[in-house]
Amino acid sequence: MEKKKMNVVNTSVEKIDSLYLSQGKSCYVEDFMPDNALHVKMLWSPHAHARIKSIDISEAENMDGVRGVLYYGNVPRIPHCTAGQGYPEPSPYDTYMFDTKVRYVGDRVAAVAAETEEIAEKAVKKIKVEYELLEPVLSFDDALKENAPVIHDEEESFVPIPIPYEPEKNIAARVGMEAGDFKQGLKDADFTFDEMFETGYAQHTPMEPYVTLAQIDNFGRIVITTSTQVPFHCRRIVANTLDIPVGRIRVIKPRIGGGFGCKQEMLIEDVAAMFSLRTDMPVFFRFTREEMFKTGRTRHPIRFRMQYGVKKNGEITALGMDAVNNTGAYGGHGLTVMSCCGSKVFPLYHVNNIHFDAKAIYTNLPVGGAYRGFGATQAFFAVESMMDVMAEAIGMDPVEFRKINHIRSGESHPAFAALGEGKDGTPMSIGSNALAECIEIGAKEIGWHRRTGHKEKSGRYRRGIGMCCLMQGSSVPEIDMGAASIKMNEDGSFNVHVGATDLGTGSDTVMAQIAAEELETTADKMIVYSSDTDMTPFDVGAYASSTTYLSGEACRKTAAKVKQQILNTAAEMLNSDINELEAIGASVVTKDGKEKVTYSEISHYSLYENNQYQIAAVESHITHKSPPPFAAHYIEIEVDTYTGEIKVLKYVSAVDCGTAINPALAEGQVEGAVLNGISYALTEEYRFSEKGKMTNPSLKTYNIFSLRDKPEMKTILVPSYEDTGPFGAKSVSEICINGAMPGIANALYNATGVRVYKAPFTKERVWKALQEKKCDF
Amino acid sequence: MISCIVNNKTVETGVNPGISVLEFVREELNLTGTKEGCKEGECGACTVLVGELHENGTVKYKACASCLLPLGEIDGRHIVTVEGLDSSLLRPVQKAVFNNNASQCGFCTPGIVLSLTGFLLTSESFGFNDALDALDGNICRCTGYASIRKAAEELSIIFKDKKGSVEKENRVEQLIDWEVLPEYFRSIGGRLENMIYSPSNISMFNENKVLIAGGTDLLVQKPEGLLAEDLVFASKLDSIELKQIKEANEYLHIGGAVTVEQLRKSEIIHKYFPSLENDLLLVSSTVMRNCATVAGNIVNASPIGDITIILLALNTRLILRKDHSRREVMLDKFYKGYKLMDIGGGEIIEKIVIPLPDETSLFNFEKVSNRKYLDIASCNSAVSIKTDNKTVQEITVSVGGVAPVPLLQNEVGKFLKGKNISTENLIEAGKILTSKISPIDDIRGTAEYKKLLTRQLLYSHFVKLFPDKIKYEEVAG
Q: Give A689 to chain B, closest Cα distance, Å.
A: 10
User: Cα B379 from chain centroid?
Assistant: 19
Q: Same domain, yes or no, for A618 and A629? A: no
Strands A616-622 and A191-198: unpaired
Q: Same domain, yes or no, for A610 and A709? A: no
Model pTM greater than 0.90? yes
Read off the CATH number of the domain in which A613 is found.
3.30.365.10
Give the number of domains in chain A.
3
Q: Same domain, yes or no, for A636 and A697? A: yes
Q: Tell if the CB–CB gap between A22 and B103 is shorter than 8 Å.
A: yes
8 A C-beta contact, residue A71 and residue A109: yes
**Residues of chain A contacting B373 with CB distance shorter than 8 Å:** 706, 708-709
**Residues of chain A contacting B94 with CB distance shorter than 8 Å:** 19, 22-23
Q: Determine the length of chain B.
A: 477
Q: Give B2 to chain A, closest Cα distance, Å.
A: 23
What are the beta bridge partners of residue A192?
A309
Is B50 exposed, middle or buried (CB count within 10 Å of its CB: 0-12, 13-18, 19+)?
buried
Per-residue confidence (pLDDT) for residue A167, from 0 to 100: 97
Read off the CATH number of the domain in which A105 is found.
3.90.1170.50
Asked if residue A596 is part of any domain, the answer here is yes
Q: Same domain, yes or no, for A311 and A268? A: no
Instruction: Place B240 in a pLDDT band, splitting at 50, 70 and 90.
Output: confident
8 A C-beta contact, residue A511 and residue A482: no
Q: Tell if the CB–CB gap between A764 and B37 is shorter than 8 Å.
A: no
Q: Same domain, yes or no, for A303 and A344? A: yes
Per-residue confidence (pLDDT) for residue A775, from 0 to 100: 41
CA atoms B419, B420, B421, B425: torsion sign: negative
State the Cα–Cα distance between residues B446 and B245, nearest whole angstrom: 39
Nearest chain A Cα to B29, which residue?
A35
**Residues of chain B contacting A712 with CB distance shorter than 8 Å:** none
**Residues of chain B contacting A643 with CB distance shorter than 8 Å:** 368, 453, 456
- Tell whether A125 is within 8 A of chain B (Cβ): no
Per-residue confidence (pLDDT) for residue A642, from 0 to 100: 84
**Residues of chain B contacting A704 with CB distance shorter than 8 Å:** 139, 141, 371
SS3 for A125? helix
What are the beta bridge partners of residue B6?
B9, B79
Asked if residue A3 is part of any domain, the answer here is no
How far, in Å, are A604, A713, B9, B10 from residue B186 at the CA level?
49, 41, 14, 15
What are the beta bridge partners of residue B47?
B65
Q: Tell if the CB–CB gap between A707 and B149 is shorter than 8 Å.
A: yes
Per-residue confidence (pLDDT) for residue B477, from 0 to 100: 60
Strands A202-203 and A38-44: unpaired
Q: Same domain, yes or no, for A558 and A666? A: no
Q: Which of A83-97, A162-176, A412-426, B213-227 has the lowest mean pLDDT?
A: B213-227
Q: Tell if the CB–CB gap between B90 and A19 is shorter than 8 Å.
A: yes
Predicted confidence (pLDDT) per residue in B176-191, tens digit: 999 999 999 999 999 9
Q: Tell if the CB–CB gap between B105 and A673 is shorter than 8 Å.
A: no
Residue percentage of chain A with pLDDT more than 90: 97
Tell me: pLDDT of B163 over 90. Answer: no
Q: Which of B318-322, B373-377, B445-449 has the lowest mean pLDDT?
A: B373-377
Asked if residue A330 is part of any domain, the answer here is yes
Asked if residue A169 is part of any domain, the answer here is no
- Tell whether B251 is within 8 A of chain A (Cβ): no
- Tell whether B85 is within 8 A of chain A (Cβ): yes
Per-residue confidence (pLDDT) for residue A777, from 0 to 100: 33
Instruction: Place A774 in a pLDDT band, splitting at 50, 70 and 90.
Output: very low
pLDDT average, residue stretch B130-146: 96
Tell me: pLDDT of A345 over 90. Answer: yes
Q: ipTM score here?
A: 0.96
Single-letter amino acid, residue A451: R
Q: Which of A218-232, A510-524, A668-682, B89-103 has the lowest mean pLDDT?
A: B89-103
Indicate the residue among A235, A259, A286 that finishes a domain: A286
Instruction: Place B87 in a pLDDT band, splitting at 50, 70 and 90.
Output: confident
- Tell whether B206 is within 8 A of chain A (Cβ): no
**Residues of chain B contacting A505 with CB distance shorter than 8 Å:** 104, 142
Owning domain of residue A399 = 298-476+625-772
Mutate to test the interface with A, among B104, B451, B470 (most CBs of A within 10 A): B104
Asked if residue A173 is part of any domain, the answer here is no
Average pLDDT, whole number, for chain A?
Answer: 96
Average pLDDT, whole number, for chain B?
Answer: 93
Instruction: Place A776 in a pLDDT band, splitting at 50, 70 and 90.
Output: very low
Asked if residue A184 is part of any domain, the answer here is no
B-contacting residues in A 726-765 (Cβ below 8 Å): 762-764
Q: Give A416 to chain B, closest Cα distance, Å.
A: 30
Predicted confidence (pLDDT) per residue in B444-475, tens digit: 889 999 998 899 899 999 999 999 999 887 88
Per-residue confidence (pLDDT) for residue A2, from 0 to 100: 56
State the Cα–Cα distance between residues A218 and A395, nearest whole angstrom: 73
Of B87, B106, B144, the CB nearest to A504: B106
Asked if residue A139 is part of any domain, the answer here is no
Indicate the residue among A286, A319, A341 that finishes a domain: A286
Q: Same domain, yes or no, for A630 and A556? A: no
Q: Same domain, yes or no, for A658 and A517? A: no
State the Cα–Cα distance between residues A362 and A334, nearest whole angstrom: 9
pLDDT average, residue stretch B267-275: 95
* List of domains in chain B: 2-194 (3.10.20.30), 239-355 (3.30.465.10), 361-476 (3.30.390.50)
Q: Same domain, yes or no, for A130 and A225? A: yes
8 A C-beta contact, residue B122 and residue B115: no
Q: Which of A12-16, A42-46, A626-630, B162-166 has the lowest mean pLDDT?
A: B162-166
**Residues of chain B contacting A700 with CB distance shorter than 8 Å:** 40, 42, 376
Predicted confidence (pLDDT) per residue in A460-477, tens digit: 899 999 999 999 999 999
Nearest chain A Cα to B142, which residue?
A672
Tell me the Cα Rg of chain B.
23
B-contacting residues in A 139-158 (Cβ below 8 Å): none
Asked if residue A189 is part of any domain, the answer here is no
Q: Which of A650-654, A655-659, B210-214 has the lowest mean pLDDT?
A: B210-214
User: In this complex, how many residue pairs, one in chain A and one in chain B, have their CB atoms less than 8 Å apart?
Assistant: 220
Tell me: pLDDT of B292 over 60. Answer: yes
A 10 A CB-CB count for A576 gives 17
Indicate the residue among A286, A309, A337 that finishes a domain: A286
Of B108, B371, B477, the CB nearest to A705: B371
Q: Same domain, yes or no, for A451 and A306? A: yes
pLDDT average, residue stretch B299-309: 93
Strands A354-362 and A316-328: parallel
Predicted confidence (pLDDT) per residue in A524-560, tens digit: 999 999 999 999 999 999 999 999 999 999 999 999 9
Tell me: pLDDT of B141 over 70. Answer: yes
pLDDT average, residue stretch B270-283: 93
Strands B245-248 and B231-233: unpaired
Q: Same domain, yes or no, for A427 and A282? A: no
Q: Where are the alpha helices (DSSP H) in A575-712?
A: 599-604, 663-682
Residue A570: name the closest of A559, A561, A583, A560 by CA: A583
Mutate to test the interface with A, among B91, B107, B426 (most CBs of A within 10 A): B107
Q: Same domain, yes or no, for A487 and A409? A: no
